[in-house]
Amino acid sequence: MNVHSHSGRPMSLAPHPAATADARSHEILASIRQAFAEKGFDGASMQDLARAAGMSVGNFYRYFPSKSEIVKAMCGYDLSEIQAEFADVQNAADPMLCLREHIIGHFDGKEEADGQLWAEITAAAIRKPEIREAAGMMEGTIIAFLIAIFAGVTRRSEAEARQRYEGQAQMLVMLVKAMAMRTCQCGPASPALSAQVVAVLDRVLSEISNDKAEG
């Protein structure tokens, strides 16, 4: 599937620049996620995080001079994984079915730590503009990925797809975030709730799939 920009050139689903952190930084971020999620943005000290990473505080500061920088790096870290998911979708024989499977995969209740982490980041974003900016940039990039997929499926330009489907893309992002945060607060969703969420997902994807450009 070729996804095109408004200029007609193929659009590459490139990761956000923040997602290019080196391998060691990624290892550190993976090792501190649980501590960051459990203790919270304000509760987790740099000493706590360094300990979770198995590093001295001084060495830890070399990689991440502040908790705000950690959050920004985590956004990039997660975007690198999300970008790989979208590459799978883009190359699938049925992109919308593949997208549906990936989204439902995030509803399985196995990502409680991630939900906890993003609940903390969402709360911190209310108080700290730099975190709000990083989280907003991440969400905006995910929405751009979705719109690129929708543009290819409906044979529309990216600009037209954004005009028509930006609200639907925002809804899908909100569903995934809400389900992840609900899991960390209340446990896995009941079958009844899961069925309702999947029904919303299917309606959104069906509306877009059936809205192909004429000609």
pLDDT one-digit tens code per residue, 52-67: 999 999 999 999 999 8
**Is residue 30 in some structural domain?**
no
Its pTM surpasses 0.85 = no
Determine contact, residues 84/94, Cβ cutoff 8 Å. Answer: no
**Domain holding 85: CATH number?**
1.10.357
Amino acid at 14: A
pLDDT reported for residue 183: 75
| Percentage above 90 pLDDT, the chain | 44
**Is residue 42 in some structural domain?**
no
Q: Is the confidence at residue 113, as pLDDT, over 80?
A: no
pLDDT reported for residue 215: 64
**Is residue 4 in some structural domain?**
no
Average pLDDT over residues 13-32: 66
**Is residue 78 in some structural domain?**
yes
Q: Is the confidence at residue 8, as pLDDT, over 70?
A: no
Q: Which residues pair with 13 in a beta bridge?
A: none
**Is residue 9 in some structural domain?**
no
Domain that holds residue 203: 67-209
Separation between Cα atoms, residue 152 and residue 10, nearest integer Å = 10
Q: What are 131's two structure tokens?
A: 């975190």
**10: helix, coil or strand?**
strand
Helical axes 158-186 vs 129-154, angle rounded to 10°: 120
**Is residue 136 in some structural domain?**
yes
Number of structural domains the chain divides into: 1
Separation between Cα atoms, residue 171 and residue 28, nearest integer Å = 32
Render 61-84 in DSSP notation, one character per residue.
HHH-SSHHHHHHHHHHHHHHHHHH
Q: Degrees (nearest 5) of the Cα angle 204, 150, 15?
A: 115
Return the DSSP state at 155: T
pLDDT reported for residue 16: 43
- Mean pLDDT lowest for which of 69-78, 108-117, 181-190? 108-117
pLDDT reported for residue 72: 84
**Dihedral angle computed from the Cα positions of residues 58, 62, 65 and 68, in that order, rounded to the nearest 10 degrees:** -120
Separation between Cα atoms, residue 26 and residue 183, nearest integer Å = 25
**Is residue 33 in some structural domain?**
no
Q: Is the confidence at residue 139, as pLDDT, over 60?
A: yes
Query: E strands along 80-174, which residues?
Result: none
Q: Is the confidence at residue 109, as pLDDT, over 60?
A: no
Count helices and strands in the chain by DSSP H and E runs: 9, 0
**Is residue 50 in some structural domain?**
no
pLDDT for 151-180, tens place per residue?
A: 999 999 999 999 999 999 999 999 988 888
When the pLDDT of each residue in the chain is averaged and rounded to a whole number, the result is: 83
Average pLDDT over residues 34-40: 81
Q: What are 95's two structure tokens?
A: 């992109």
Q: Residue 116: is it exposed, middle or buried by C-beta count within 10 angstroms (0-12/13-18/19+)?
A: buried
Q: What are 61's two structure tokens?
A: 């500061």
Q: Which residues pair with 10 in a beta bridge?
A: 4
